């Protein structure tokens, strides 16, 4: 998988598998844990960085979770030392996910001082009763306070995550949360409809008939989201993602798009004008089928068509690295057509869709040949639009992007 002779991979994800407490809906691999295990994880992560460093020249770094902001100052300092040792600092975009309950001014300043320039904060709702319903560890007041703290520490690129169609959420409550979140003026907004993941308390409650899913209300909330976000000056560039344009970010994007050539077959395309300047570059690389290394328990990597997955067990992950082994549980090499199908499906989540020429350059396959019938059927349903240059989902199609994308898998 490592390729020391070719261009290096420009995207790095690090999974931090710890949370203060587990939310009722969440199936990401994470657990409430002791300080000892976190220390052991930090040391093991440094070893994993060394294993992949020679294949990496990160233009985007994303620490997700879990709750990366749960780590204390000393643990973060150790992580930055490890990143420096492995020459992984200096990315154009460096994001850290935060929970509002674990943001302090000292920590925010430390992150900013070491090159973190984007924060993604999980808010979910600004309604106390719904925060409680979701099992969130923070109050609405902590969201406002943490946002101020991030600004005070110098963060000029902040994303807020919200969720909608939460059981018990009324349209009025959703409008209120949206209005208050938008009033904060973050540069980026991600809004997810609740997914009922197996093995979560919310899924069990649904199965037990404690509430019902209301699809019409979820559709109405999505429409409200798109209208309000756009009215507040954010531009939608993906099913769930909205961002602002900002002059200050121009240089960042120009250098990123030139540098992000990590693979002979799957180079990342230049940004489309419909992509806002403060869009998340790290996620755009996922949606465009670019390569990335993923470190940490449960993390997935996708490098030159090979997908690997790390053990979803922090103890085992640490043991493997302490013994000098790779912490990889599985490896899968996708045939070229399957790879192109996945790339097509992911890319359709973006408002700009796929320019035919770009898709062919990246995957070696032509959407107009292999997927002609699938594109026709989506256009007939009103879910997609086709021009001589590109294929993209309409706003109605974006609402059903998962179903539309499935047609492209091979
Ligand atoms: C991995 S979490 C990271 C944020 C941080 N851990 C927090 O929750 O404060 C990323 C985001 O995924 C979304 N998410 C997680 N589980 C979800 C689910 N079952 N349905 C919809 N969105 C979900 C939430 O909006 C969450 O903020
Ligand atoms: S949503 Fe965030 S804080 Fe809640 S359990 Fe998942 S990763 Fe942890």
Q: Give the model's pLDDT for residue 257.
A: 37
Q: Give the model's pLDDT for residue 5.
A: 62
Nearest CA to ligand 2 atom 6: 26
Indicate whether residue 260 lines ligand 1 (CB < 6 A).
no
Nearest CA to ligand 1 atom 1: 65
CA of 85 to the centre of ligand 1 (A): 31
CA of 123 to the centre of ligand 1 (A): 9
Kindly identify the ligand whose nearest atom is closest to the C-alpha of 163.
1
Kindly identify the ligand whose nearest atom is closest to the C-alpha of 21.
2
In order along its 410 residues, the chain shows pLDDT tens digits of: 556 567 899 999 999 999 999 999 999 999 998 889 999 999 999 999 999 999 999 999 999 999 999 999 999 999 999 999 999 999 999 999 999 999 999 999 999 999 999 999 999 999 999 999 999 999 999 999 999 999 999 999 999 999 999 999 999 999 999 999 999 999 999 999 999 999 999 999 999 999 999 999 999 999 999 999 999 999 999 999 999 997 333 333 333 333 333 333 333 434 456 799 999 999 999 999 999 999 999 999 999 889 999 999 999 999 999 999 999 999 999 899 999 999 999 999 999 999 999 999 889 999 999 999 999 999 999 999 999 999 999 999 998 999 999 999 98
Which of 18, 20, 32, 122 for a ligand 1 pocket mutation test, highest count of atoms within 8 Å of Cβ?
A: 122
H-only helix segments in 95-185:
105-113, 128-133, 140-152, 171-183
Which of 23, 96, 161, 169 for a ligand 1 pocket mutation test, highest count of atoms within 8 Å of Cβ?
A: 161
Indicate whether residue 195 lines ligand 1 (CB < 6 A).
yes
CA of 26 to the centre of ligand 1 (A): 7
Q: Report CA torsion sign: 397, 401, 404, 409.
A: positive
| Residue-by-residue DSSP string for 177-216 | HHHHHHHTT-SEEEEEE----TTSHHHHHHHTTSS---HH
Q: Report CA torsion sign: 166, 170, 175, 176.
A: negative
Cα–Cα distances in Å, from 347 out to 38, 239, 259? 36, 11, 20
Residue in the block written with tokens 């068509």: 305
Indicate whether residue 194 lines ligand 1 (CB < 6 A).
yes
Interior CA angle at 349 toward 348 and 351, to 5°?
A: 85
The atom of ligand 2 lying closest to the CA of 22 is 5
Cβ-based burial of 356 (10 A; exposed 0-12, middle 13-18, buried ≥19):
middle
Angle between helices 314-322 and 35-52 (to 10 degrees): 50
CA of 135 to the centre of ligand 2 (A): 9
Indicate whether residue 99 lines ligand 1 (CB < 6 A).
yes
Q: Give the model's pLDDT for residue 101.
A: 96
Kindly identify the ligand whose nearest atom is closest to the C-alpha of 137.
2
Token couple for 49: 């960085």
Measured CA to CA, the distance from residue 15 to residue 31 in angstroms comes to 12
Which of 64, 65, 130, 143 for a ligand 2 pocket mutation test, highest count of atoms within 8 Å of Cβ?
A: 65
Which of 21, 23, 26, 286 for a ligand 1 pocket mutation test, highest count of atoms within 8 Å of Cβ?
A: 26
Indicate whether residue 163 lines ligand 1 (CB < 6 A).
yes
CA of 370 to the centre of ligand 1 (A): 35
Kindly identify the ligand whose nearest atom is closest to the C-alpha of 202.
1
CA of 161 to the centre of ligand 1 (A): 7
């Amino acid at each position: 998988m490592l390729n020391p002779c070719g261009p290096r991979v420009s995207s790095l994800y690090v999974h931090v598998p710890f949370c203060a407490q587990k939310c009722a809906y969440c199936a990401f691999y994470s657990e409430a844990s002791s300080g000892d295990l976190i220390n052991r994880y930090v040391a093991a992560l440094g070893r994993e960085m060394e294993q992949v460093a020679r294949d990496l020249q990160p233009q985007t770094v994303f620490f997700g979770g879990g709750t990366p902001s749960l780590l204390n100052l000393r643990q973060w300092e150790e992580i930055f030392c490890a990143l420096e040792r492995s020459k992984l600092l200096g990315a154009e975009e460096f994001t850290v996910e935060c929970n509002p309950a674990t943001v302090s001014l000292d920590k925010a300043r430390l992150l900013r001082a070491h090159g973190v320039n984007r924060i993604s904060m999980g808010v979910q709702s600004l309604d106390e009763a719904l925060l409680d319903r979701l099992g969130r560890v923070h109050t609405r007041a902590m969201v406002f306070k943490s946002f101020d703290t991030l600004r005070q520490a110098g963060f000029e690129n902040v994303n807020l995550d919200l969720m909608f169609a939460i059981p018990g959420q009324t349209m009025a409550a959703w409008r209120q949360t949206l209005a208050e979140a938008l009033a904060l003026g973050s540069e980026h907004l991600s809004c997810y409809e609740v997914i009922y993941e197996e093995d979560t308390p919310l899924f069990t409650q649904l199965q037990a008939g404690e509430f019902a899913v209301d699809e019409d209300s979820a559709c109405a909330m999505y429409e409200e989201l798109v209208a309000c976000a756009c009215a507040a000056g954010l531009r939608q560039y993906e099913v769930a993602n909205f961002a602002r344009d900002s002059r200050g970010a121009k240089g960042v994007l120009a250098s990123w798009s030139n540098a992000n050539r990590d693979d002979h077959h799957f180079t990342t395309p230049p940004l489309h004008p419909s992509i806002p300047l403060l869009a998340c570059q790290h996620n755009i690389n996922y949606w465009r089928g670019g390569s990335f290394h993923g470190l940490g328990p449960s993390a997935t990597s996708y490098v030159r068509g090979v997908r690997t997955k790390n053990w979803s067990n922090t103890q085992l992950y640490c043991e493997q690295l302490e013994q000098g082994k790779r912490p990889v549980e599985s490896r899968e090499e996708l045939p070229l057509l399957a790879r192109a199908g996945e790339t097509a499906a992911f890319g359709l989540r973006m408002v700009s869709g796929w320019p035919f020429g770009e898709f062919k350059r990246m995957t070696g396959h032509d959407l107009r040949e292999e997927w002609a019938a699938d594109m026709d059927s989506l256009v007939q349903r009103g879910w997609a639009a086709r021009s001589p240059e590109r294929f993209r989902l309409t706003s109605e199609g974006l609402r059903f992007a998962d179903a539309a994308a499935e047609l492209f898998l091979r």
